[in-house]
């Protein structure tokens, strides 16, 4: 069991999300940045779907009421009993230890994963907190969370190779698959969208990010469509011409035309752009987006294997970057 001592920002339990209920109006939900969250989970020996803590900008302080193995995912200063420790590394905590997580130096969302995951009663098959429908709740100081059972031996001291520590930029290029309602925009409108820099506004949350920047011109078809499905990553453009990117808790349907949908590989980049950060958009084909996703998943698998000791990473001299993984031979 862990006890939250201070919770300075929105902190929730999240997992990989709900599947199969969008047709009942239930969003997919889940972590905002699946890459950071999955890596944090791998470091403590969990799979992709284990529930963990997600916080925004500033992390919580918590006390361990039993020994546990944890890892912090995010660019933050982290202290265990007052001693600075590293994010992206798993540690053993014993009963009474206090973990303090500071303000994120870059990025918007951070994660704390625990070996065995956080215990919860799943709602519609998932532990994702979805506040608008009271699925779970925003965590407050004084609350206790139970951890799932896990054999802790050998799970501490795992480190992410430096090359794979996520970097959160203040300006990113985001790949977008055009459509499906690009006919609601003029050619000029689409050019504006693809050739401008947009700033993430403070009216941004788990539901979606509102962007400020040059207005996107609608065609004579106008700024409304017959209410249509809204996939995560959809870029909707309402009448004011300012794009909104729908994210984890985005509504499942909506009536604004979609100029494009962010490639899944780039959704974490969007999610980690904090208010004031900037985004530029680049049109890619659905094939290219899928190819990049497949490549990313190969790397994620290799990292998981590396942390588990099933894979070896080779560091080539060129730029000192890990470029190859091989299976560890079993004797």
Q: Which stretches of the chain bind other proteins, using CB under 8 A?
A: 19-26, 123-124, 132-135, 177, 179-180, 226-229, 231-234, 251-254, 258, 261-264, 286-287, 289-290, 293-294, 297
Q: Based on CB atoms, which residue is closest to other proteins, 152 or 293?
A: 293
Measured CA to CA in angstroms, residue 300 lies from 107, 288, 305, 310 at distances of 20, 18, 9, 13
Q: Based on CB atoms, which residue is closest to other proteins, 231 or 238?
A: 231
Q: How many residues does this entry show for the chain?
A: 331
Q: Based on CB atoms, which residue is closest to other proteins, 6 or 227?
A: 227
Smallest gap from residue 122 Cβ to other proteins (A): 10
Q: Based on CB atoms, which residue is closest to other proteins, 90 or 236?
A: 236
Residues whose CB is less than 8 angstroms from the CB of residue 246 and which lie 6 or more positions away in sequence, other chains included: 207, 208, 230, 231, 232, 233, 234, 235, 236, 254
CA distance 146 to 3: 9
Cβ atoms of residues 190 and 259 within 8 Å: yes
Smallest gap from residue 52 Cβ to other proteins (A): 21
Q: Based on CB atoms, which residue is closest to other proteins, 132 or 140?
A: 132
Smallest gap from residue 160 Cβ to other proteins (A): 22
Smallest gap from residue 263 Cβ to other proteins (A): 5
Smallest gap from residue 193 Cβ to other proteins (A): 16
Smallest gap from residue 177 Cβ to other proteins (A): 5
**Which phi and psi (to 5°) does residue 56 adopt?**
-110, 125
Measured between its terminal Cα atoms, the distance across the chain in Å is: 39
The alpha carbon of residue 195 and the mean position of all alpha carbons in its chain are separated, in whole angstroms, by 26
Q: Based on CB atoms, which residue is closest to other proteins, 4 or 289?
A: 289
Buried b (16+ CB within 10 A) or exposed e, 294-304: eeeeeebebbb
The DSSP annotation for 265-310 comes to: GGHHHHHT--TT-EEEEEE--HHHHHHHHHHHHHHHHHHHHHHTTS
Smallest gap from residue 134 Cβ to other proteins (A): 7
DSSP 8-class letter at 130: B
CA distance 70 to 64: 10
Q: Residue 153: beta bridge partners?
A: none
Residues whose CB is less than 8 angstroms from the CB of residue 311 and which lie 6 or more positions away in sequence, other chains included: 302, 305, 325, 326, 327, 328
Nearest alpha-carbon partner for 102 in 76, 123, 138: 76
Smallest gap from residue 237 Cβ to other proteins (A): 15
Q: Based on CB atoms, which residue is closest to other proteins, 189 or 232?
A: 232
Smallest gap from residue 7 Cβ to other proteins (A): 24
Q: Based on CB atoms, which residue is closest to other proteins, 86 or 227?
A: 227
Q: Based on CB atoms, which residue is closest to other proteins, 71 or 177?
A: 177
């Amino acid at each position: 069991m862990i006890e939250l001592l201070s919770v300075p920002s929105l902190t929730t339990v999240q997992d990989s999300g709900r599947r199969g209920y969008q047709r009942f109006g239930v969003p997919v939900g889940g972590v905002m940045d699946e890459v950071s969250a999955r890596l944090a989970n791998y470091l403590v020996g969990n799979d992709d779907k284990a529930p963990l803590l997600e916080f925004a900008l500033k992390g919580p302080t918590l006390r361990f009421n039993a020994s546990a193995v944890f890892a912090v995912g995010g660019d933050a200063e982290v202290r265990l009993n007052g001693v600075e420790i590293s994010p992206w590394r798993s540690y053993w905590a014993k009963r009474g230890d206090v973990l303090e997580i500071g303000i994120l130096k870059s990025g918007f969302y951070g994660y704390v994963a625990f070996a065995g995951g956080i215990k919860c009663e799943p709602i519609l098959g998932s532990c994702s907190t979805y506040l608008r429908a009271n699925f779970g709740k925003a965590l407050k100081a004084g609350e206790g969370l139970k951890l799932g059972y896990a054999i802790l031996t050998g799970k501490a001291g795992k480190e992410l190779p430096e090359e794979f520590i996520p970097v959160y930029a203040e300006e990113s290029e985001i790949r977008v698959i055009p459509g499906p309602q690009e006919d609601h925009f003029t050619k000029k409108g689409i050019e504006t969208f693809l050739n401008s820099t947009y700033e993430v506004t403070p009216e941004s949350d788990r539901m979606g990010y509102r962007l400020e920047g040059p207005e996107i011109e609608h065609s004579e078809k106008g700024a409304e469509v017959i209410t249509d499905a809204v996939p995560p990553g959809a870029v909707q453009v309402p009448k004011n011409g300012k794009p909104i990117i729908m994210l984890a808790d985005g509504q499942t349907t909506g009536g604004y035309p979609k100029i494009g949908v962010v490639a899944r590989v780039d959704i974490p980049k969007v999610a980690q752009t904090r208010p004031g950060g900037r985004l530029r958009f680049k049109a890619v084909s659905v094939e290219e987006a899928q190819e990049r996703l497949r490549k990313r998943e190969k790397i994620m698998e290799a990292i998981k294997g590396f942390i588990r000791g099933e894979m070896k990473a080779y560091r080539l001299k060129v730029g000192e970057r890990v470029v190859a993984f091989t299976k560890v031979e079993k004797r």
